[in-house]
A and B are shown apart, each in its own frame.
Chain A
Amino acid sequence: DAKTTQPNSMESNEEEPVHLPCNHSTISGTDYIHWYRQLPSQGPEYVIHGLTSNVNNRMASLAIAEDRKSSTLILHRATLRDAAVYYCILRVDLRSNYQLIWGAGTKLIIKP
């Protein structure tokens, strides 16, 4: 079964970069890696996704290992508003039944 493993929590200082790791050793060739974050009392919010190559957008960067068994979400300069639970997710293709398989998430704590 497709599965992701993340640290339960991480701490970082404000205005410093944050690297959030994710292991997905059972990933298959067609599985996309997605990241969402969930702020307190809100629904999840899309952050970034990728397949094989590293990806950048205005929110973050996604670095994908060459063997695709792990990835890292990079927040270049964390602010207090980035404090949230970050989910690493695999989008799997079960005979055209696409599902997002969510990890348990990493609670990111930002210290002022």
Chain B
Amino acid sequence: KAGVTQTPRYLIKTRGQQVTLSCSPISGHRSVSWYQQTPGQGLQFLFEYFSETQRNKGNFPGRFSGRQFSNSRSEMNVSTLELGDSALYLCASSLRGQGANTGELFFGEGSRLTVL
């Protein structure tokens, strides 16, 4: 069974640009969550999508957005990039989402974004 696939794995952008990251969940999983990981703040929840609808949202500015397609693949977009957006962006898929008591999220290896 293929795992969670994130693309691209590495990318470099400059301030003010925008970026789109992609996540393909495990086949059959309908929930995709996005996290930002930085050395200073650790892992922080961005948002969760389930069946193409945003179900949960963390405390990030509106420059961070996402969407989910009918095949459960998800994209996240960051507009007007700032230096502080440099981070590892992790995607996690699950069968029923973070609200389900079964609990298990399956993470991809992440997309490492560097903003210069």
A interface, CB within 8 angstroms of B: 32, 34, 36, 41-46, 49, 51, 87, 91, 93, 96-105
Q: How far is the CB of B30 from chain A (nearest CB, A)?
A: 15
- Please judge, given known A-B contacts A43-B90, A44-B90, A46-B104, whether A100 and B42 are in contact too, CB under 8 Å: no
- In the complex, which residues of chain A have a beta carbon less than 8 angstroms from the beta carbon of B45? 99-102
How long is the Cα–Cα vector from A3 to B56 in the complex, in angstroms? 19
How many cross-chain pairs have Cβ atoms below 8 Å apart between A and B? Answer: 55
Whether the Cβ atoms of A100 and B109 lie closer than 8 Å is no
| CB-nearest residue of chain A to B57 | A97
Size bracket of the B interface:
20 to 34
- In the complex, which residues of chain A have a beta carbon less than 8 angstroms from the beta carbon of B42? 102-105
Q: How far is the CB of B91 from chain A (nearest CB, A)?
A: 8
| CB-nearest residue of chain B to A94 | B56
Whether the Cβ atoms of A44 and B107 lie closer than 8 Å is yes
How long is the Cα–Cα vector from A46 to B33 in the complex, in angstroms? 14
How long is the Cα–Cα vector from A99 to B43 in the complex, in angstroms? 12
B interface, CB within 8 angstroms of A: 4, 42-45, 48, 55-58, 90, 92, 97-99, 101, 103-110
Contact of B92 among A43, A49, A93 (CB under 8 A): A43
Contact of A43 among B57, B99, B107 (CB under 8 A): B107
Contact of B103 among A42, A91, A104 (CB under 8 A): A91
- In the complex, which residues of chain A have a beta carbon less than 8 angstroms from the beta carbon of B99? 93, 96, 98
| CB-nearest residue of chain A to B112 | A41
Whether the Cβ atoms of A99 and B107 lie closer than 8 Å is no
Chain B CB count within 10 A is highest, among A43, A44, A100, A103, for A43
Chain A CB count within 10 A is highest, among B103, B104, B106, B107, for B103
- In the complex, which residues of chain B have a beta carbon less than 8 angstroms from the beta carbon of A104? 42
Whether the Cβ atoms of B56 and A42 lie closer than 8 Å is no
| CB-nearest residue of chain B to A96 | B99
How long is the Cα–Cα vector from A63 to B109 in the complex, in angstroms? 29
- Please judge, given known A-B contacts A87-B43, A100-B45, A103-B42, whether A32 and B56 are in contact too, CB under 8 Å: no
| CB-nearest residue of chain B to A46 | B104
- Pairs across A and B, CB under 8 Å, 25 listed: A36-B105, A41-B109, A43-B4, A43-B107, A43-B109, A44-B90, A44-B92, A44-B107, A49-B104, A51-B101, A96-B99, A97-B55, A97-B56, A98-B56, A98-B98, A99-B58, A99-B98, A100-B98, A100-B105, A101-B45, A102-B42, A102-B43, A102-B45, A103-B42, A105-B42
